[in-house]
Homo-oligomer: A and B are copies of this chain.
Amino acid sequence: MSVEPNYFQQYQHADIDELADVIGELLQNPITVEDADHKLIAYSSHGDSTDQARWSTIMGRRVPEKVLTRLWKDGVFQELLTQDDPVHIPAKDEVGLGKRVAIAIRRGSDVLGYIWAQEVNRPITREDDEILRQAARVAVSRLMQRQGKRKAEEQRRKEFLWELLLGNHKSESTIRQKADSLQMQLPTAYLICIIEAAGARLDQYLYPLLMRDKLLWVVDGSQIILLIGLDGSVKKDVREVLVRKVEQFLADSLGKLEAHVTEGRQVIAGYGLGYQSTYTEIVKSYREALHALKIKKLFPQENEGIYGYHELGIYRYLLQLKQWEAEQGYENERLEKLRQYDRDNQTAMLQTLETFLDAAGKVNVTASRLHIHINTLSYRLRRIEEIMRVDLENMNQRAALYLELKMAKLDQEQ
């Protein structure tokens, strides 16, 4: 194996722009350097033979969204994030991206940024890879400095998000001011989503997804709290689009987390309602998300596959009702009667009733779930009506019983 020359020995102390130029000269091709968030840091002034993607990146000071999306989708970033070597990327004309080579600038497992070398003047071969590897190493210290600043800023942003979540700001104008001063672009419509997984470094595992969707987030113990936002381009059915977005995110992330992280699948998630224009309502969405999470812990089966506060149905009211009942010192006589009957006669009337109600009054569904004959069910239902003195045909009574049954489960199960 031949000893490789040290290409950047005399440029150890050059600034990042100079570095870009040096790499560009070595490879005889245009170079761009980006940070981990794909913001432009430096670019070579070499020539003007540049493709659409590079031009847009330089003009917008950031890689265009559609390019990023495409590269995520094609697995380019996944490669870059997991290996030290340069990745050779074929042209993707649909997004205006010419053929190029990229390498991650990393320190340990942290990715600080990327170097991109376009292939226009000459092809970049495997022999050039060492140039890029060395360039990436030299770039580390430059990006560290930047990252130091970035981290402090990031810290302030996270603190600000916490303030919003906890409702510390009372006026919309101060929120907008502070967001401006932190150079944060708050979405025009948003909702709060919480993912909880005991013992997992959530932000780490979700990093690619968080980056992909450009989300604001904070980590709180075993929870990660996400602000899912939409920009002003969506005009109608805003809430529905938000819900689709968060459901998509959850589909992506929960699958990944469950496979990746925990064996006992203690991954749960919940999200609040969507709000528009006003940022003081982030508190509400956050509390709603917490509520949804709480309910999902209390009634896991009942709310399987449900994450949104708006989908909770009666469970939205249940805790409040329960508390109110407790204050009133009310104890449900009818249900107690049925329980007593079950104890006395070793029957399962209560379970029968619950299954029946859960099945929305469909006899065949109920019977098959209970593995009993349909006439047995009809007999039991008649008995239940006698014992409890209720009319199960009456929707009011049915709904009330349903509520009371679920309330009773609250202090029964735990």
Q: Which residues of A contact B (CB under 8 A)?
A: 239-240, 284, 302, 310, 312-317, 320-321, 324, 328-329, 333, 357-361, 389, 393-400, 402-403
Contact = CB atoms under 8 A, between A and B. Distances in A.
Contacts of A239: 333
A312, A359, A399, A402: most-surrounded residue (chain B CB, <10 A): A399
A400 B321 contact: no
A301 to B, nearest CB: 12
A314 B396 contact: yes
A321 B315 CA distance: 12
Contacts of A328: 284
17 contacts: A239-B333, A240-B389, A313-B394, A313-B399, A313-B400, A314-B399, A315-B396, A316-B400, A317-B321, A320-B321, A320-B324, A358-B395, A359-B395, A360-B395, A361-B395, A398-B399, A399-B403
Contacts of A358: 395
A393 B394 CA distance: 17
A400 B320 contact: no
Nearest to A360: B395
A302 B396 contact: yes
A361 B314 CA distance: 17
B314 A403 contact: yes
Given A315-B396, A317-B400, 11 more contacts: A302-B396, A310-B333, A313-B396, A313-B400, A314-B400, A317-B403, A320-B324, A359-B395, A360-B394, A361-B395, A398-B399
Contacts of A310: 333
A403 B395 CA distance: 11
Contacts of A315: 396
Contact of A360 (B302, B329, B398): B398
Given A320-B324, A321-B321, A324-B320, A395 B402 contact: yes
Contacts of A360: 361, 393-395, 398
A397 B400 CA distance: 14
Nearest to A239: B333
Contacts of A389: 240
Greatest chain B CB density within 10 A among A316, A324, A329, A333 is at A316
B317 A397 contact: no
A394 B402 CA distance: 12
